[in-house]
Homo-oligomer: A and B are copies of this chain.
Amino acid sequence: MNQNKLVENVTSRDEDFAQWYTDLCLKAELMDYSDVKGFIIYRPYGYAIWEGIQKYLDQKFKETGHENVYMPLVIPESLFQKEKDHVEGFAPETAMITTTGVEELSERLIIRPTSETLFCTHYQKIINSYRDLPKKYNQWCSVVRWEKTTRPFLRGKEFLWQEGHTVHQTEEEARKETLDMLDIYTDLGKELLAIPFVTGRKTEKEKFAGAVETYSIEALMHDGQALQSGTTHYFGQEFSKAFDIKFQDERNKFQFAYQTSWGVSTRLIGAVIMVHGDNEGLVLPPYIAPTQIIIIPIQGKKESVKQATETLYTSLKDLGYRVKIDDSNKSPGWKFSEYEMKGVPIRIEIGPRDLERNEVVVVTRHNREKTAYQVEDVASNMKDILKDMHEKMYQNALDHVNKNTYEASTYDEFKELIKKGGYVAMSISGEEAELQIKADTTATARVIPFEQKLITKICPVTGEKAIQTVWFARAY
């Protein structure tokens, strides 16, 4: 087999970003297509990334007083229709069970596209007093949305996610929860995925069906397109009024509760690929990588190589690193290409000549730099090597955001800048401008940043008074 076969099959990132992405998803064995369009198979290497995200978030959720539950897969059609905006937003994408192997159902059952209606029905039953509040539940599950165009991880008919649903006594507490969870998502980017998320509020047009306010974490892909990577919603009393979720307060007065929901999905796997990947393949941030270190013995049958390989493997394993040895009979060059393509952060080459100098070679995937280490120094330095790699990858991604974020004072300027990719900030008058921009450029409002400063007093699109600065981008 040709030494570079694997890599040759992956399209160049700079020639065709979309094809490069799909190639990588398949060749790196993150996923495969199933027999039903839009439903993908999460293969071990891809699912392990999701498990890493789950482990990080589940711990954070529990530390902040959230409990896991599991709600039914199905929602009766009549229940789904209780909150007007919500049903309007989701109805076209719903998949429905209408029959079993032997009989038709009396009511159509919607496969959950999201579970607000189920949580609300349950909350209505179990919440009576202020003593029952807050309720802070989370669920790990899959949801189904009948999307027309689908892409691995980014948009599918089924995806895996977590959905948090909370109930509070006061608006203040619910608003705080909405922002606290946004912080946890931001930390996920900073600490695990090496992705600097841009955060802010969504415009009225872009917010979640049924929410008073939606907040978002947005990631900027290498090609300059943005990816909404997670959202948190403040519902106010919209759902509690539709579902009659009331509690008796300390003065025995009935009040409608305040609610939130928030979620991230396997879409994050897509973000990791498109933020960090390069022409050689995946580049996985070290703390999320399913395999952090691959050890490749050169002339592995030599006793000295064999022994050094085993010793180093054991010491790294004992320190808790996710480490593997590849002593198969493929050529070293083939293996180098394979693990580069799979984005394994650290490759350690152990060969007889280096060993004579008591050295091994450590190659870091993100910059493909080779460093010789004394054998006994590798394990003790690994913590710092991975930390440095994580920080550099985060900084690179942040540099990419900073280099590709612009301000526009005129609409012509905006149109020029948006073509280059990246975020363009502009101060606009409202939804009319937003719609015009989308029609003219396909760019959409990503977020209204928390820190607000008007660039111009007049909206360059409508000529009316500008009321807020919004970050626009073309998006997945």
Identify the A interface with B (CB < 8 A).
32, 34-36, 39-44, 47-48, 50-51, 67-74, 76, 79, 91-102, 108-109, 111, 118, 121-122, 125-126, 137, 141-142, 144, 146, 158, 160
A71, B41: Cβ atoms closer than 8 Å: yes
Measured between beta carbons, the chain B residues less than 8 angstroms from A35 are 76, 79, 121
A158, B97: Cβ atoms closer than 8 Å: no
Cα distance A40–B72 in the bound complex, in angstroms: 6
A67, B96: Cβ atoms closer than 8 Å: no
A100, B94: Cβ atoms closer than 8 Å: yes
Interface hub of A32, A93, A97, A118 (most chain B Cβ within 10 A): A97
Cα distance A126–B29 in the bound complex, in angstroms: 10
Partner of A101, one of B41, B79, B96: B96
Q: List 16 A-B contacts (CB under 8 A).
A: A32-B126, A34-B71, A35-B79, A36-B72, A39-B74, A41-B118, A42-B69, A44-B137, A47-B67, A47-B68, A51-B68, A70-B142, A73-B111, A93-B100, A98-B99, A101-B146
B100, A96: Cβ atoms closer than 8 Å: yes
Cα distance A44–B48 in the bound complex, in angstroms: 25
Measured between beta carbons, the chain B residues less than 8 angstroms from A71 are 34, 41-42
A76, B44: Cβ atoms closer than 8 Å: no
A44, B68: Cβ atoms closer than 8 Å: yes
Please judge, given known A-B contacts A95-B100, A96-B101, whether A125 and B48 are in contact too, CB under 8 Å: no
Measured between beta carbons, the chain B residues less than 8 angstroms from A97 are 95-98, 111
Measured between beta carbons, the chain B residues less than 8 angstroms from A32 are 122, 125-126
